[in-house]
Structure 1
Amino acid sequence: MTTIADHDTYIAAAPEPFRPSLERLRALLIRALPDATEIVQYEMPGFRIGGAIVASYAAFSKQCGLYLQPGAITEHAEEIAALGLKATKTGVTFTPRKPIPDDLVERLARASRTDAGV
């Protein structure tokens, strides 16, 4: 991918099969974090509230990722695992064939905001 200036540029440069997933994530995060500012940091689109990056997302060669504060992942770890999604300390990965549910994205975003203290 090329250097990205904003979310639109990132999504347009992502592999075509992942673009709908990225657009969906962006819309869900905007809805869950209405007062957040869209940013690009670490070559990923994200959402900042105050000084904290509350959520970010990315596309890779075989999957997409949603990145959040660690407490959000911990709080929803059992549900993430039950859905068969892979999680790290700060992220959940998924594919267009096995997407992360919309309501979980929104709950994770709100929990990430709480964990960030903003």
Structure 2
Amino acid sequence: MAAITDHDAYIAAAPEPFQPSLQRLRTILSRVLPDADEIVAYNMPGFDIGGTVVASYAAFSKQCGLYLLPGAISDLAEDIAAAGLKATKTGITFSPRKPIPDDLVERLVRASREDAGV
């Protein structure tokens, strides 16, 4: 993907099978973080509050990712594993066939915000 300047353009440029998943994430993140600014940083769409990127998402060739602050991932590690998902220190990868459950996305984003202290 070329350099993208907004969420709409990012989602439109993503592989077509991933677009609904990315739009779903954007909708959930917007709802849970209504006071956040939508930004693009490191060529990934994200949600910034007070200079801290609380959550971001991305599409790759074979999967998508949700990226959060490390405390959110560690706090909900058991729930992530129970959903059959793999996580790194700051991200969870998933496919459109096995998305992150909406309620887990919401809890992760709230935990990330809490980790940021904003």
TM-score category of the 2 structures, normalised to the smaller one: over 0.9
Matched, 1:23 2:17: no
Give the letter for the 1:47 counterpart: F
Residue in 2 aligned with 1:85? 85
- TM-score, structure 1 normalization: 0.99
- Map Cα deviations across residues 26-72 of structure 1 (whole Å, 9 max, x no partner): 00000110100000000000000001100000000111000000000
CA distance in 1, matches of 2:38, 2:106: 16
Give the letter for the 1:90 counterpart: T
Segments of 4+ in structure 1 off by > 3 A? none
Q: Give the total of aligned pairs.
A: 118
CA distance in 2, matches of 1:69, 1:3: 24
Aligned-residue CA RMSD in angstroms?
A: 0.5
Give the letter for the 2:17 counterpart: P
Q: The residue matched to 2:39 in structure 1 has which SS?
A: strand
- TM-score, structure 2 normalization: 0.99
CA distance in 2, matches of 1:4, 1:69: 23
Matched, 1:99 2:99: yes
Give the letter for the 2:56 counterpart: S
User: Gaps (5+ residues) in structure 2?
Assistant: none
Q: The residue matched to 2:4 in structure 1 has which SS?
A: coil
